[in-house]
Structure 1
Amino acid sequence: MLLLLLGLSLALKPFASLVVLLVLVAASLVVAGGGELLRRDSPGGRHRRVGAGAHLMAAVVVRAWPGATIRVIAVAVAAALLVGGAADLLAARHLTATARYDAVVGGATSVVLGVLALAWPDVSVLVVAVLFGARVAMAGARLVVAGIRGDRVPQLAARRPRAGRRGGWLRLTGSVVGAAVAVVLVVVSVALQRNVPHPDAFYDTPEDVSAATLAQPGRLLRSEPFTSAEIPSGAAAWRILYTTTRDEGRPATASGLVIAPVSAVRGQGARPATVVAWAHGTTGFATGCAPSILTGGLAAGAMTIQDLVVERGWAMVATDYVGLGTPGPHPYLIGQGEGRSGLDAVRAAHRLTTVDLAEDTVVWGHSQGGHAALWAGILAPTYAPDVRVDGVVALAPASGLPGLVDGPGEVTGGALFAGFAVSAYAATYPDVRSSDVVRPGARILVDEMAGRCLAERSVVVSALTALSLDKPVWSGDPDSGAFGRRLHENVPVGPVEAPLLVAQGTADTLVVPTAQAAYVRARCRSGYQVDYRTYEGRGHV
C-alpha cells in the first residue's frame, strides 16, 4: 500500500515543490530498491540486486546532494533506470516463457526512459514524476491485489519458484504498455527536435569588419536577396546584417528583413518607398528564433498584412533584434536594446544599394514589438536623430512589465513569457540572478522554456509544462529586488515626440485591457499625448 500511495503521489503531483518531490522520489527509490532486494522468487538475483542497489544509491544521492535540484533528481533517477534496465536485460538470460519477455521489454523500457531523462531535462520531470511514479504505483497495486486475494507476497516469500514463474501474462501486458509509451516518447522527441531552427553563416560577423566599424551603429555589414512564401507578389526582399548597440553603448550586431515594392527597386524606375519599421512580437529568446530564420517567421512575429503594406507602396524594415539570429543575449522586454535594434535597422536599410527608401518612417510594433516601438519613439531624438520618425504605433504593447510577468496562473502563457524575461534580464544585468526569483522546483523548466522558439514544435512541451504548474514559478514577489527594479526601469515611460497610437483588444488575455488603460492614463497624467483606441472583442493577435 505504501508503494502504491508513493507512486500515485508522484504521478499526480509532478510539479510539486522541490522538497516534496525530493522526499517522494527518494522514498519511492528506497521502497522499490528494498523490495527488489527482499525478492527471492526467481533466478537472475545477482543482476536484480545490482538494479536494486542502483535505486538505493539514487535515493542516497537525491537526499544527500547539497542543494539538490530537479536536474540532480533527473540524473539520479535516470541512472537508476539505466542500471535497473540493464540488470533486467541481463537477468532475462536466466528466465523462461513470459518472464523472459517481461524482463526484456521492461528492461529496454527502463533504458529508453533513462536516456530520455538525460537528453531532455524538462521532459525528465515528467519521466521522473509521472512515468516513474506510475511504475511504482503499478508495482504497489500488484502487491495490494495479491494481499486481497490472499496470495503470498512474493517479496517476502521464502521459497524459490521455477524460472518461468517470474511474472505472467498480466505483468507482460503491463510491460508492453510501458514500452509503447516509451516508443511514443522517442518518436515524439525525434519529431520535435527535427525542426529546431539554427542561424547559418550569414549571421556571423564578417571577419574583415574592424572594431571601429562595429562601434558605429546602423552600419550595413551584409545583405542578400531573401525568398519566402510570405513575401507578397510585386515585392522584393533582402535579409540584412547590421551594427547596433546594447545598453550603455556596447557594440552588437543584429539581423533583419527589408521588404519593398518592386517600384522602389533601383534600376526599375525606383520610386522612394515610405518605411514601416516593424518590431515583431515574441518569437522566443534563444538564438535561432529570428523571423528571418523561422519558417513562417513574419506570421510568428504577428506580421500578417505585409501584402497590404506593399500594395500601398510602402517598404517594411523588420528587425530581428539582437540575439535571435546574431550572438546574444536577446534583450527581451529590455527597452534600450529593442529600441536601438529597430532604429539601427532603418539606418542600415537606407545603405542598401538595391532599393530606394524615403525618409518618412513610422515605427510599428506588436506585443513585445509594441514595447520596442514605444522605446524606439523615446530614444529616436537622442539616439538616432537622423531617423525621421513620423509616428509610433504600438499594438497591444507589453507596457506594464511587472504585472505582465507576474502570476502565470492569471495570465495566459504567463510562465512561458516569464521564462523569456528572467533569462534575458539575468543574462543582461549583473545584479539579476534567476535563482533569486525562480523557485528551485521550476528552474530547469524556466531554463528549458527559454531555449525554445514559439514556432518550434517542441514548444508544446513548454506549453504543457506551463499549464501543468500548480503554483507560480516565482520564489517570492517578482516585483521586488533587483529583478523588480529592472522591470520598472524598462517600462516605456519617457516622452514620445512623434504622434503615438496605442491599440488594444478588449478580449486580450495576455496584455490585459485594464493594465493597458492604466498605462495610458499614467502617460496622459504626465502630459504626453496618446491616441488610445480599443477594439471590442479582439484578442492579443
Structure 2
Amino acid sequence: MQTEQQKFRGPARVVLAAAAIGLGLIVIMTPLSPQGVAVAVGIGIACSGILLIVAPSTQNQTTRSVLPLVAGVMCMVLGAVVALWPDAGAPWLALLVAVAIIVFGIHTATRAIRQRTDQSVASLISAFAAILIGVVAFSWPVLTLSVFRVGFGGWLVFIGAQALLQLIFARRSTRRRPPTRGWIRTAAASLALVLACGFALGSAWIFGGAPLAAPGAFYTPPADVSDTPGTLIRVEPLDSGVPAEAEGYRILYTTTHADGSPAISSGTVLLPARRGTDPLPLISVAHGTTGVDPKCAPSLSATPFSDGAAAALEQMVVEHGWAAVTSDYIGLGTEGPHPYLVGDAEARNVLDATRAAHELADVTLADRTVVWGHSQGGQGALWTGQIADAYAPEITIEGIAAFAPAADLYGLADADKNDAAGKTVSAYIAATWNDLYPELDLDEHLTAGSAVGVERISQLCFNGKDVLAAIIRGTQVTNQVFPDSTLAGEFGDMLKAQTPVGPFPAPVLVAQGLDDPLVKPQLQDRWVEARCAEEEAIDYRTYAGFDHVSVVSKDSPLTPELIDWTLARWSGDAPTPNC
C-alpha cells in the first residue's frame, strides 16, 4: 500500500511537471532581458530541485539514496538565489554556462581518449568545438543567455513531459535505439567545429577593433611649457584625410582642466589652400564621442576631419574660404584622464584651441568664431558659448550650432541605461569619471557584472570599425551600468550639473533627428523649452527620418541649412529663434 508521503508525491509531481512544461514554453516563446532569463532559469532550477526531491524511488524509504535529496535542495537554493537577485544572477549565470560548456568539452575529450572507440574521433572533434564555443561565450554573455534560454526552456519541457510519462507508464521502454552511423556523427561534429571556428574568428575580428596608432612624440610636451592657456606648443602638417584644396595641421597647445589647473591638449586646424591676406572667418569645432583612450584622438585618425557635420565643414573651408579648428580634448592624444562629457572642461579645450590657432604662422584668423558641435561636441559647443565671456573674453562668439547635443546628460543616462549605445556611453563615463571624481568611487557603485564590460569598452574607440566593437560590447553588458540608486545620488547630481543652461552670448541653433535612438527627441524638446523659458534665442530644428548620425550626413537637409545659418551669423543677420 502507498504511504501518505507517496500519495502526496503523485499529485505534487503532476503539478510540478505541468509547471515545468508551462515555464519552459514561456521561456522559449517570450522575449526576455538577461534579468528575465535569470529569473526564469532560477525558477526552473528550483522546480527541477523539487522534482528531484519528490521523484519516485526504486528503493524503499530506508535505503533510498540521499543524493537526489541533497541535489534537490542545492538546486532549490541556487534557483532561489538566481531568481531573487537577477541583476547579480544574470552575469554569473552567463559565466557558469560558459564554464559548463568548457567542462563538458574537456570531459568529452577525456572520455574519448580513454575509451578509444570507433567514435573517438567524432567525440574529440565535438569536444574541441564545445571548448572553443565555451571560450568565445565569455565575450558574449547576453547572447549566451539568449541561446541558453531556448535550450533551458526545451529542457524544462522535456523533464516536465518525462515526469508525466513516468507517472503514466510504470516501466521504461527497454527498446534500444539503432546505432548511429559513425560517418554521420563525425560529419556532424566536423560541421559543429567549423561553425565554432567561424564564430570564434568572427568574434575576434569584431572585438579586436581597429589597430590604431598610439600617440607619438608629438603629443609629449617639452618640460618648459607656458602656463598661459591657449599657447601653441608645436604644429605639424597632416598627410591623410585632408580634403582636396585644403591644408590640414596637427597642433599641440596649453589649456586647463575644469578646476583651472594647467593641462595639455592636441587638435587639428583645417585651412583653405587658396587664401589671401585678410583674416579668415573661423569655425571652432567641438567633436563628438570618439572614445576615452589616448589613441582615440581625432588628430590620430586617418580621417581627422570626418566627425560631425564634416560635409558642411569641408564646404565652408574649400568653397567659402573659412578656417576650422578642432580640439581633441585633454586625454585624447595627450595625458589624461579625458573629461568625457564634462562640459566646462570641453569648453576650455575648445576655446584654448581657438587661441592657439591664432598663433599659426602664415595665416591670419579673425578674432570672432562660430562654434559647431555634434553629440558630445554639441554639449561642448553649448558650454563653450556659456563660459566664453568669462574664460576667453577676447574671442567673440557669433553663433553656436549644436547637433543632437547631449544637453540633458542625466536624462540621457536614465533614458538610455538599458540600450546598447547608452551602456557604451555609460561605460565611457564610468571609465573616466572614476579618475576625475574619485570621491564618487564609481568603481564600487556599478551594477553587478558591469565592471568587465566597462573596462573592455573603455579600451575601444568610437570611430571606424571600433564603433561596431564598442556597440556590440554594449549589447553584451547584462545590466545597466549604473544602478538607479547611484543615478539618484551624488553621481546623478553631477550629471545634472553638466546641463548647459546659458546665458549664451550668441544665437543658438539646435538640430535634432526625430529618429535618434541615443539623444531622444523628447529630451531635447524639454531642454529647448527650458531655455526658451529663460528667453534664450534658440532656433530649434527637427528632422523626420534622421537619426543621431544621419542628421549630420552629407545628404541631410541640415547641411545646406547649417552653411546658410553660419554665413548669416558672420554677416550679422538677425537671428531666427522659434521658441
The bucket for the TM-score relative to the shorter chain is 0.7 to 0.9
Alignment map for 1:369-388 (pairs within 5 Å): 369-388=377-396
Aligned residues: 496
Contact 1:199–1:325 under 8 Å retained in 2: no
Deviations 1:142-187 (A, max 9, x none): 999999999xxxxxx9x9x9xx979966765654454233212221
Partner of 1:184 in structure 2?
198
2:480 corresponds to 1:480? no
Distance across 2 between alignment mates of 1:410 and 1:537: 24
The worse-fitting range, judged by mean Cα deviation, of 70-79 and 496-505 is: 70-79
Alignment of 1:324 onto 2:338: no
TM-aligned CA deviation for residue 261 of structure 1 = 0.6
Of 267, 275, 278, the residue aligned with 2:285 is 278
Shift of 1:86: 3.4
Separation in structure 2 between the aligned mates of residue 374 and residue 135 of structure 1, nearest angstrom = 50
CA contact (8 A) 1:329 1:427 kept: yes
The answer to whether the aligner puts 1:263 opposite 2:274 as a matched pair is yes
C-alpha distance 132-503 of structure 1, shift in aligned 2 (>3 A): closer
Contact 2:424 2:471 in 1 (8 A): yes
1:432 maps to: 440
- 2:411 maps to what in 1? 403
Query: After superposition, where does 1:162-201 map in structure 2 within 5 Å?
Result: 175-201=189-215
What corresponds to 2:123 in structure 1?
Answer: 103
**Counterpart among 294, 303, 307 of residue 310 in structure 2:** 303
Q: Which runs of 5 or more structure 1 residues have no equivalent in the other structure?
A: 32-55, 151-156
Root mean square deviation of aligned Cα: 4.7
Deviation at 1:440, TM superposition (A): 1.7
Aligned CA distance change for structure 1 residues 110 and 295 (closer, same or farther; 3 Å)? farther
The match for 2:526 among 512, 518, 526 is 518
More divergent stretch after superposition (379-388 vs 339-348): 379-388
Q: 1:408 to 1:535 in 2, by over 3 A?
A: closer
Query: Is the 8 Å Cα contact of residues 38 and 89 (structure 2) preserved in structure 1?
Result: no
Cα deviation for residue 364 of structure 1 reads 1.3
1:134-153 matched pairs, under 5 angstroms: none
Q: How far, CA to CA, are the matches of 1:470 and 1:279 in structure 2? A: 32
Scaled by the length of structure 2, the TM-score of the pair is 0.70
Q: Tell which deviates more after alignment, 420-429 or 252-261.
A: 420-429
1:472–1:336 Cα change, 3 Å:
same
Secondary structure of the residue that 1:180 maps to in structure 2? Answer: helix
Amino acid at match of 2:287: H
Distance in 1 of aligned mates of 2:513 and 2:328: 25
1:85–1:535 Cα change, 3 Å: closer
**CA distance change for structure 1 residues 170 and 307 in 2, over 3 Å: closer, same or farther?**
same
**TM-score, length-scaled by structure 1:** 0.75
Match of 1:236 in 2: 247
Give the superposition deviation at 1:372: 0.3
The within-5 A match list for 1:21-60 is 23=42
Structure 1 residues 125 and 359: CA distance shift in structure 2, 3 A? same
State how far apart, in whole Å, the 2-side matches of 1:485 and 1:255 are.
30
- The DSSP-based 3-state class of the residue aligned with 1:91 is helix
Mapped to 2, the partners of 1:375 and 1:520 lie a distance apart of: 15
2:246 is equivalent to residue 227 of structure 1: no
Q: What is the match of residue 349 of structure 2?
A: 341
C-alpha distance in 1 between matches for 2:183 and 2:282: 71
Determine which structure has more spread, i.e. the larger CA radius of gyration.
2
Question: Structure 2, unaligned stretches of length 5 or more?
Answer: 1-16, 51-74, 167-171, 552-579
Deviation at 1:402, TM superposition (A): 1.8
* Matches of 1:489 and 1:339, distance apart in 2: 14
1:15 correspondence with 2:39:
no
How far apart are the structure 1 equivalents of 2:131 and 2:470? 24
Counterpart of 2:498 in structure 1 is: 490
Alignment of 1:249-260 (within 5 A): 249-260=260-271
Q: Aligned-pair distance for 1:360? A: 2.4
Query: Could you say if the C-alpha distance between residues 170 and 460 of structure 1 is closer, same or farther in structure 2, counting changes exceeding 3 Å?
Result: farther
2:143 aligned residue: 126
Cα separation, 2, equivalents of 1:8 and 1:181: 29
Task: Report deviation, 1:393.
Answer: 2.0
* 8 Å contact kept, 1:99–1:165: no
CA–CA separation in structure 2 for the residues paired with 1:187 and 1:356? 52
Matched, 1:455 2:469: no
Q: Is the 8 A contact 1:281 1:302 kept in 2?
A: no
Identity of paired residues, percent? 31
1:245 to 256, 267, 273: 256
SS, match of residue 357 in structure 1: coil
Q: CA separation in 1, counterparts of 2:48 and 2:217?
A: 48
Greater Cα shift, 93-102 or 325-334? 93-102
- Structure 2 residue aligned with 1:113: 133
**Distance across 2 between alignment mates of 1:206 and 1:468:** 36
Tell me the SS of whatever aligns to 2:506: coil
